[in-house]
Structure 1
Amino acid sequence: MDLVTAERRDELFSTFKREAFHLELKDEYRVSIEDGPYAKWLKGEPDDFEWFRPWLEQTRSLTAAGRTIRRVRVVTEPVTEYIRWEIELTPMNHEAGEEIRWLPRHHIPEGFEFPANGNDWWLFDSETLAVTHFRPDGRFEGAELITDPAVVGEAVRVRDQLWSLATPYDDYKH
């Protein structure tokens, strides 16, 4: 399996034409850019959100151009501190045009199988699947780019099913 860098995966944001969809399945992430802000939040310290601005600006630009960015976050309840932090950040995502829904893990149908071995992924235009692989310490290892129609088709099916099961941010009570 060939893995590409986060930068190479992120190039897909400049080339997708209609929709980018992200499936998040972990209750905590270890993302270098988030380490400091998350630690400050845990201590109750204020954040200027400069670290978050590039994503928000990119999202705002893409959605203003008519592209859709959606995300389903599958979470364990009660939610972790990290997920509480994400919940507090979500209004900024929404203001930038990203649609986020929440799906409590216990609402997933029994026997449900996730494609890509249960890893997180981005799906671009229902054509390219960028599967995230993490190191044992939870940090990003690389992304596997998949265009095989059978695998992508399964991701499309899962995207549509989870989106219909998930609760919109404004209605999610954790």
Structure 2
Amino acid sequence: MDLITPAQRDRLFDHFERDAFHLELRDDYGSPVEDTPYARWQRGEPDDYAWLDAWTELMKRVTAEGRTVRRVRVVTEPHSRYVRWEHSLTHLNIAMGEDIRWLPRHLLPEGVDFPVHGNDWWLYDDRLLAVGHFDAEGRVLGSEIVEDSGTVAECARLRDLLWAVAIPHAEYQP
């Protein structure tokens, strides 16, 4: 399986026309860019958020062009430390123009089956998937590009179902 890097995946934002959607299913992630700020947060130290500058610039540009970037974060309650940190930062994503909703696992609709082996994915314009792959410690390995129309359609249906039942960030009280 060929994987693209996170930087290559981010370049996909230059090519979609309408909607990019991210389904997040993990309660913990490992990313070198987040290691230091996450450690600072755990120690109660302030953060200048400079590590988010490239993402902020990308999201502001994409959303200013009228394209949408949405996420549903499926999370376990009570939250892991990582999800608590992620929740504390989500106001920054909202300010960038992203729309983020939360879905506690115990509120998942009955019978939901996660495609692509339960991995996270980005869906671009209902035509292209970037499926995340992780190692045993949760470190990002890269993303697999999937263009199979059946898999893409299955993910689009799941996106619509979960988006309808997920809780907007402003209303989600963990």
TM-score range, shorter chain: over 0.9
How many residue pairs match? The answer is: 174
- Number of the residue aligned with 2:40: 40
Distance 2:165 2:83 in 1: 19
CA distance in 2, matches of 1:121, 1:30: 16
What's the counterpart of residue 133 of structure 1?
Answer: 133
Match of 1:83 in 2: 83
Match of 2:56 in 1: 56
- 8 Å CA contact 2:22–2:120 kept in 1: the answer is yes
How far does the alpha carbon of each residue in 1:78-121 deviate from its partner, in whole angstroms, 9 at most, with x for none? 11111111111111111111000000000112331011110000
Paired residue type of 1:7: A
Q: TM-score, normalised by structure 2?
A: 0.97
State the shift of 1:57 in Å.
1.5
Trace 1:17-36 onto structure 2 (pairs within 5 A): 17-36=17-36
Residue 156 of structure 1 and its aligned partner are, at CA, apart by 0.2
2:6 paired residue number: 6
SS at match of 1:52: helix
C-alpha contact (below 8 Å) 2:29/2:140 kept by paired residues: no
What is the letter of the counterpart of residue 120 of structure 2?
D
CA drift at 1:8:
2.1
**Match of 2:55, SS?**
helix
Aligned partner of 2:110: which letter? E
The code of the aligned residue for 1:123 comes to L
Structure 2 spans left out of the alignment, 5+ residues: none
Q: Answer yes or no: is the 8 Å Cα contact 2:68–2:98 preserved in 1.
A: yes
* One-letter amino acid of the counterpart of residue 166, structure 2: A
Taking the aligned partners of 2:60 and 2:10, their CA distance within structure 1 comes to 16
The structural deviation recorded for 1:31 is: 0.7
1:122 aligned to 2:122? yes
Structure 1 position 140, deviation (Å): 1.1
Q: What is the SS of the residue equivalent to 1:51?
A: helix
Where do 1:135-154 residues align within 5 Å?
135-154=135-154
CA distance in 2 between partners of 1:40 and 1:65 (Å): 34
Aligned partner of 1:136: which letter?
Answer: A
| 1: CA distance, partners of 2:97 / 2:24 | 18
In structure 1, stretches of 5+ residues that fail to align are: none
Please give the secondary structure, in 2, of the residue aligned with 1:48.
Answer: coil
SS at match of 1:163: helix
TM-score after normalising by structure 1: 0.97
